[in-house]
């Protein structure tokens, strides 16, 4: 497996990240350990989480995903074998939607993440959501302090507008501040337009590694959901209804066709398509069972032909 470098850093990752949003939500700690063990045994090393993950679960307070990952790393004594990415900026309270990437918030929240992860450093620390208020220089200065202190290795961003991402890159160069080495957009075979017409060009031109979330459109691109009758197949089924339309069914048909040609599955084809797109480094995908995990990890070995990529592009045209 060929690993990929995150931006201009010295950090290399396998081309698939395990999405830790399911930890403490749809999988408990024991099953999380089982999945993470299998993931690294197959040669993968990249785990993505956030301080606010699982805050939406009744009884949770946020941080449960980080806590589970931290417990796993401690029990396996493998901190130097994995690349941990987490985020800051989202509210920890499930009833709040306040975003905050001020210097004070970043310096406060990093301590909680480090404690929950039971580590001295975070490999990739990411701006989760923009508050559209804090000057980009203030955010980057906070990261500079954390990097200087050895608490963070590199930084990345998620969900920034093209302007705020470009402003951040300009500020990094102008003021010699840390530079975002990665960018995390919601991007998949169905949801293409926003990224492709917005931040993709900036990422490619500036060698910013793209780590996609919603890589399988909440499971729609696995082919498991074909009608509204399928929406109760998982706790995430409610978010699938938006894809059950003419375009969505056209995409599923193309996925089925390519999967048959390659003796693979729609989820594998969907991830292989992502890996073939400009700037994409490592899609993020979640699994709740070993069977699902094995389907996902097989995607990195799937090479799609130009004809197959064109078929998928035409089916998902916007």
* Catalytic residue positions, numbered: 53
Angle of helix 306-315 versus helix 266-275 axis, rounded to 10: 100
- Please count the other Cβ atoms lying within 10 Å of the Cβ belonging to residue 99: 18
* DSSP secondary structure of 177-190: ---EEEEE-B--SS
* DSSP secondary structure of 231-244: GGGSTTGGGSGGG-
Dihedral Cα 29, 35, 38, 44, nearest 10 deg: -110
Between the alpha carbon of residue 317 and those of residues 213, 250, 283, 310, 313, the distances in Å are 20, 10, 20, 10, 6
Across the chain, where does the E strand assignment appear?
4-5, 12-13, 17-19, 46-48, 83-88, 122-127, 152-158, 180-184, 209-210, 284-285
CA distance 216 to 228: 18
CA distance 71 to 91: 23
CA distance 120 to 294: 31
The tokens of 234 are what? 């998982």
The answer to whether 110 and 151 have CB atoms below 8 angstroms apart is yes
Dihedral Cα 11, 16, 20, 25, nearest 10 deg: 180
């Amino acid at each position: 497996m060929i690993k990929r470098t995150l931006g201009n850093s010295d950090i290399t990752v396998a081309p698939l990240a395990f999405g830790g949003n399911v930890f403490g939500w749809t999988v408990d700690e024991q099953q999380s350990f089982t999945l993470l063990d299998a993931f690294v045994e197959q040669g993968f090393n990249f785990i993505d989480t956030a301080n606010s993950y699982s805050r939406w679960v009744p009884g949770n307070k946020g941080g449960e995903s980080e806590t589970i990952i931290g417990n796993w790393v401690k029990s396996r004594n493998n901190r130097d074998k994995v690349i941990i990415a987490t985020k800051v900026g989202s509210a920890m309270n499930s009833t709040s939607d306040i975003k905050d990437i001020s210097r004070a918030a970043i310096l406060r929240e990093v301590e909680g993440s480090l404690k929950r992860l039971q580590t001295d450093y975070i490999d990739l620390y990411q701006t989760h959501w923009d508050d559209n208020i804090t000057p980009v220089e203030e955010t980057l200065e906070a990261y500079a302090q954390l990097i200087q202190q050895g608490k963070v290795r590199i930084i990345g961003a998620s969900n920034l507008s093209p302007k705020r991402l470009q402003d951040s890159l300009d500020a990094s160069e102008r003021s010699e501040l840390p530079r975002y080495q990665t960018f995390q957009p919601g991007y998949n075979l169905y949801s293409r337009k926003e990224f492709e017409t917005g931040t993709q060009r900036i990422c490619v031109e500036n060698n910013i590694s793209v780590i996609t979330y919603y890589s399988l459109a909440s499971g729609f691109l696995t082919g498991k959901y074909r009608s509204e009758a399928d929406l109760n197949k998982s706790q995430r089924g409610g978010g699938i209804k938006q894809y059950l339309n003419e375009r969505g069914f056209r995409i599923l048909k193309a996925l089925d066709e390519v999967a048959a040609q390659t003796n693979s599955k729609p989820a594998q084809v969907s991830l292989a398509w992502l890996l073939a797109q400009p700037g994409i480094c490592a899609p993020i995908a979640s699994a709740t069972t070993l069977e699902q995990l094995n389907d996902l990890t097989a995607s990195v070995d799937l090479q799609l032909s130009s004809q197959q990529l064109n078929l998928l592009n035409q089916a998902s045209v916007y």
